[in-house]
Structure 1
Amino acid sequence: MAIIQFLRTVLFYLVFILQTAIVAILVAIVGLVAGGSSPMGWALARYWCASNIWLLRVIAGVRTEVTGAENIPVGGCIIASKHQSDWDVFAIFPFTGRPAYIVKKELMRIPIFGWAARSMDCIEIDRRRGAAAIPMMMKQARDAADRGRRIVIFPEGTRKAPLAPADYRQGIVRMYKELNIPVVPVALNSGLFWGRNSLLIWPGRAKGRILPPIEPGLPPDVFLERLKNTIETNTDDLILEAADQGLSRPVSPAFAERLAELREARENTA
């Protein structure tokens, strides 16, 4: 099984990387010729996300299911998603209209990819500067919100392994406070199938759950606690559900222990 899945993973990455390079070149060219956010550029971005979801299913055996799209309000909002895998970008994109993703500055420096990202309204954040990077990010985010964009942010700043301790950054709090628009939490379990540092992509059904928005105007500490509890509780639910249905990936003793502790905690609070 592992050897077959290794070959499927290698084939997926070969096609994924080649296609990503071609699409990035096309988006960059369209951006230079037609300007940023052109209809052709967005059509290419939608194709890239949809085709990657298809490739994951056909080649690697990862099916995609996202529910709760009705919870995304009309107009500008912040979509705050758990981040476990590159799958998260592909799966959320179809529900965001014309989004503005918060992207690490290192990614924006990649030739061609960075040019394409800039033409698609991506907002860059230089994590190495810490709090000093937030004002520039906020300026770009405010401009995007004023244009009715849905700003997509991963509040922990990087991909996290399933059931790893949560680490929410202050950027999402600052954005919530200053932009005064709803925040839509998103929970998911994609790391069970396409892990952060895994050499293999494992078959199964990756799920995302778009949750009811958090209204603007809450005190920052109340907002952060509500956001964290909402995302983490629903993410744990999706992980437990997938584990109960059976995982094709091997489960380490440490992960099995964390699953058992989570089940016990849920039973004690039921």
Structure 2
Amino acid sequence: MSTLRGFVFYLALAATIIVLTVLLLATKPFLSLDRRYESICRPWAETVLWLLRVICGIRLETQGMENMPAEGGFVVLSKHQSAMDPFLLTAVLKRPACYLYKKSLHWIPCLGWAIWSMDMLAIDRAKGRSAFQSFMKKGPEVLARGWWICLFPEGTRVPPGERVPYKTGGARFACATGTPILPIAHNAGHCWPKNSVAKNPGVVRVSVGPVIETAGRDPHEVSREVEAWIENETARLDRC
């Protein structure tokens, strides 16, 4: 049944992606990025979460929303268990989310074109250090327009119960620019497993942590603090 629900959900998701792409490309010449995000991208993410609830029996529960400021620039560092993660952040964050992602995603029909149209942080990982330098150059421009930069410091989706070392790129950028970090933990991998069509009914709990200040701090120290909070909080969510 979970696999069947997954197939039905993906069919519905594909239809919403086509609509999303048409709307974003059609409005690109005359609507601002903020307007397109708030009137198209955020409602789309909320629609996807609604489809998960109706088709797959997956509900969303948020905790710690009082820790999330409504204004100011932030680097959001989030747990990465599932392909569900960008939908969660796009729907939950109080400011538009700008993702750091692989430039190769632009080649994906429809979805890649939609991502391209939103002027986010595309990097070519094959270029190594120059990719990070590009991030360091473009990131402040994103913050200046009032968007929050979102990264997944694990670098890949990690199934529940497993751990990988956190990458320090997000913490290094935050420390270099003095931008506070907003950590996010969740347990989405239980309901939307990695590399699986099946969608398991249940509650996805998203927890927003206290803001972590970075000004004048060592990025490796900050990265360890972020990792400790996210992993400990994820373990707590798993016990709920």
TM-score for the superposition, normalised by structure 2: 0.92
User: Does the CA contact (< 8 Å) of 1:83 and 1:158 recur in 2?
Assistant: yes
Q: 1:52 Cα shift?
A: 0.5
AA matched with 1:146:
A
Q: Which runs of 5+ in 2 are unaligned?
A: none
Partner of 1:53: 49
- Residue 239 in structure 1 maps to residue 238 in structure 2: yes
Distance 2:34 2:181 in 1: 26
Distance 1:111 1:138 in 2: 28
1:191 to 189, 205, 209: 189
Distance 1:75 1:156 in 2: 25
Distance 1:180 1:41 in 2: 26
User: Does the CA contact (< 8 Å) of 2:17 and 2:110 recur in 1?
Assistant: no
Aligned ranges for residues 66-105 of structure 1 at < 5 Å? 66-73=62-69, 74-94=71-91, 95-105=93-103
User: Does the CA contact (< 8 Å) of 1:35 and 1:119 recur in 2?
Assistant: no
Distance 2:126 2:193 in 1: 24
Larger Rg: 1
Partner of 1:155: 153
Distance 2:222 2:166 in 1: 12
Aligned ranges for residues 258-269 of structure 1 at < 5 Å? none
Distance 1:110 1:78 in 2: 26
Question: RMSD of the alignment, in Å?
Answer: 1.7
Partner of 1:261: none
Q: 1:96 to 1:125 in 2, by over 3 A?
A: farther
Distance 2:166 2:230 in 1: 11
2:163 to 159, 165, 171: 165
Secondary structure in structure 2 of the residue aligned to 1:212: coil
Secondary structure in structure 2 of the residue aligned to 1:93: helix
Partner of 1:225: 224
TM-score for the superposition, normalised by structure 1: 0.82
Q: 1:52 to 1:205 in 2, by over 3 A?
A: same
User: Does the CA contact (< 8 Å) of 1:56 and 1:62 recur in 2?
Assistant: yes
Q: Identity of aligned pairs, percent?
A: 34
Partner of 1:180: 178
Q: 1:5 to 1:115 in 2, by over 3 A?
A: closer
Distance 2:47 2:174 in 1: 33
User: Which one is further off, 91-100 or 202-211?
Assistant: 91-100
Q: 1:108 Cα shift?
A: 2.6
Q: 1:221 Cα shift?
A: 2.0
Aligned ranges for residues 247-266 of structure 1 at < 5 Å? none
Partner of 2:22: 25
Secondary structure in structure 2 of the residue aligned to 1:63: strand
Ranked by relative contact order (alpha carbons within 8 Å, sequence separation 6 or more), the top structure is 2
Q: Which runs of 5+ in 1 are unaligned?
A: 242-270
AA matched with 1:226:
E
Q: 1:41 to 1:57 in 2, by over 3 A?
A: same
2:30 to 34, 37, 50: 34
Distance 2:25 2:37 in 1: 8
Superposition misfits of 4+ residues, deviation over 3 angstroms:
none
Secondary structure in structure 2 of the residue aligned to 1:79: strand
User: Does the CA contact (< 8 Å) of 1:194 and 1:202 recur in 2?
Assistant: yes
Write out per-residue CA displacement over residues 231-262 of structure 1, whole angstroms, 9 at most, x where no aligned residue: 11101111232xxxxxxxxxxxxxxxxxxxxx
Q: 1:170 Cα shift?
A: 2.5
Q: 1:93 to 1:220 in 2, by over 3 A?
A: same
Q: Which has the higher helix share?
A: 1
Secondary structure in structure 1 of the residue aligned to 2:62: strand
Count of aligned residue pairs for this structure pair: 237
- Residue 8 in structure 1 maps to residue 38 in structure 2: no
AA matched with 1:86:
A
Q: 1:110 to 1:96 in 2, by over 3 A?
A: farther
